[in-house]
Chains A and B, each alone.
Chain A
């Protein structure tokens, strides 16, 4: 009886997996293999004349040697932005989950609301806000937080601020989801067991929210590392990130092999960091 039941169930599972598998095959596996192949083409060719497959692994070392500055800068900018998102997002998610009461839904809608406007338009808006003659810079100059000729636009600050702004919702939502799930009785139990509010936070709330922290930081860090819009619109030549270089190599220089190699390097670095991070955070042990 049991075996009779098991057989069709297994088959059903495969059928259910199939659509997603086909989708991933067409839109992820194939393009990825194509990218991998492109990164080993002979750079002597061009996008117009086509490339020869020469299995040229030197493309990777060349791309790395030429652009490691941008890779490091991307990781640093994305790291800072992720950290800022975590601080800002945690405070907000905590407030929504524990203190907002009947305002919960409205606040969550407000968190998501910016998505109704295009990413590009929102980033351009920051260009106006941080502009050299904008009210924000003028105000900072008036209170001497910025020298008279100081500027915000085209600085690392603007790029990191843009990244932080754009990816903040990706941090808040997973954080909120895991904070909201925390049983309030656990906080009461902690308080009952002599934990001051700060201790309750670090011993109970924070560890129980770790799945959200890990989820949020990954959703922020990974796309922020590869982002080029913020650096392109809010930065300068000295704040370019690896995404900008890849974009230039693909679209301006037409150097597909090196662009591909740089993309693969970025991917490998990010995947390695993520694996290290997830293992370190020990999230698989949580609940």
Chain B
């Protein structure tokens, strides 16, 4: 168990088909590196919880295999898997004290001396004072920590967390995110965290797999996913994005410098081949709102990039740290621009102002125009 080599959690061709015919998980392939904090992110009904339950053994896989290192656990009973779960609503045993809840797993494994590990884990989760209380006497945040302690004390190879912070209020959730991250780096156990909250996934996880309709849309570090999304779903589900119609004109260069030239309403833009995720000639050119720079037309604007004039600010909302502008482009489409309120402008741009719009070409990405531009918007 202790060997450091290859204890990755590996899902191969994993499929879940329910008796009513619904396929919740479609031939999923996934490698969760040992010791990583891994997030399965997706809207409700995307199959992320089903995937988690199959790893825990609480749901049978219809097809495919689940293994940890070289050990195939696909058909192992849940109580024989080196895996523990933090359940969505914690599922604490109401008839047992916090201490009894926490030592439950060790006792079942036949560990005689539970006092030291229980003490350790209660300290780690700051629950020493609650040891003799019943779960119902604890606050939501404390119950959450008990659920975590109860699972972690067993030193599983993989810890599964099913929307563990979903029942907490915003402030507590932020605090627990930091706490969870700290605990994970302290214990070094592989965490697989299921969530529909993109911000939670991005702030906590080393790797994020974005799931949609039973499949993984994209897998990568939060930075990769956000800056270079491969589908409109990922682009919209993680943050906001502007998608503009374009036609591919051709390719230039080769290797790492290969660029794809695209016509966008009369302007030719070049995008690195590594950021092009379609072979179709009809494309979506994607640009994140905070990458869009605006400047009133009467003031000079300089800098490299894709440059448009004749855009008009048609709406504005001030959020303190930044301002969101809605711009009407010459071709009639509305784009969103987030501007940090650095004060360099000495005020806000007023609605109705004609502006120049600019972005650096390396921030744009190309997606398949057959994909729904609205995919992933408003889902959670």
A contact residues vs B (CB 8 Å cutoff):
183, 185-186, 188-196, 199, 203-204, 207-208, 286-287
Contact = CB atoms under 8 A, between A and B. Distances in A.
Interface stretch (B87-95, B208-216, B244-252): B87-95
B104 A190 contact: yes
Nearest to A186: B91
| Chain A CB within 10 Å, residue with most, of B84, B93, B150 | B93
Interface string B62-92: 0000000000000001111001110101011
A188 B108 contact: no
Contact of B58 (A192, A193, A207, A286): A192
15 contacts: A185-B87, A186-B93, A189-B85, A189-B93, A191-B57, A192-B78, A192-B83, A192-B85, A193-B79, A193-B84, A193-B105, A193-B154, A194-B108, A196-B79, A287-B94
Contact of A287 (B80, B85, B95, B108): B95
Contacts of B83: 192
Given A185-B91, A208-B94, A192 B108 contact: no
Contact of A183 (B78, B80, B91): B91
Given A194-B79, A196-B79, A188 B109 contact: no
Contact of A193 (B57, B89, B108): B108
B56 interface: yes
Contacts of A192: 56-58, 78-79, 83-85, 151
A192 B57 CA distance: 8
Contacts of B92: 189
Nearest to A183: B91
A203 B57 CA distance: 20
Interface of B: 56-58, 77-80, 83-85, 87, 89, 91-95, 104-105, 108-109, 136, 150-151, 154
B104 A203 contact: yes
Nearest to B82: A194
B104 A191 contact: no
Contact of B95 (A191, A193, A207): A207
A194 B154 contact: yes
B132 to A, nearest CB: 13
Nearest to A191: B78
Nearest to B103: A193
Contacts of B95: 207-208, 286-287
B337 to A, nearest CB: 46
Contacts of A183: 91
A188 B160 CA distance: 13
A37 B150 CA distance: 60
A230 B281 CA distance: 89
Contacts of B77: 191
A195 B87 contact: no
Contacts of B136: 287
Given A193-B150, A193-B154, A208-B94, A185 B109 contact: no
A192 B89 CA distance: 15
Nearest to B58: A188
B110 to A, nearest CB: 9
Nearest to B95: A207
B108 A189 contact: no
Given A199-B108, A203-B104, A191 B93 contact: no
Nearest to B81: A192
Nearest to A200: B79
B86 to A, nearest CB: 10
Contacts of B105: 193-194
A193 B56 CA distance: 10
A126 B77 CA distance: 46
A186 to B, nearest CB: 5
Nearest to A204: B93
Contacts of B91: 183, 185-186, 188-189
Q: Can you list the 9 inter-chain pairs with the closest CB atoms, starting with the nearest?
A: A193-B105, A189-B91, A194-B108, A185-B91, A191-B78, A195-B108, A207-B95, A194-B79, A192-B85
Contacts of B151: 192-193
B93 A195 contact: no
A195 B100 CA distance: 14
Contacts of A203: 104, 108
Nearest to A199: B108
B186 to A, nearest CB: 21
Contacts of A194: 79-80, 105, 108-109, 154
A195 B105 CA distance: 7
A199 B110 CA distance: 12
A89 to B, nearest CB: 21
Contacts of A186: 91, 93-94
A102 to B, nearest CB: 13
Nearest to B104: A193
B349 to A, nearest CB: 52
Contacts of B57: 191-192
Nearest to A182: B94
Contacts of A190: 93, 104
A188 B54 CA distance: 12
Contacts of A193: 79, 84, 104-105, 108, 150-151, 154
Contacts of B109: 194
Contacts of A195: 79, 104, 108
B167 to A, nearest CB: 13
A287 B92 CA distance: 13
Contacts of B56: 192
A195 B80 CA distance: 9
A76 B108 CA distance: 37
Contacts of B58: 188, 191-192
A196 B58 CA distance: 13
B104 A188 contact: no
A204 B108 CA distance: 12
A196 B109 CA distance: 10
Given A188-B87, A189-B91, A196-B79, 19 more contacts: A183-B91, A188-B78, A189-B93, A190-B104, A191-B57, A191-B58, A191-B78, A192-B56, A192-B78, A193-B151, A194-B79, A195-B104, A195-B108, A196-B108, A203-B104, A204-B93, A207-B95, A208-B95, A287-B136
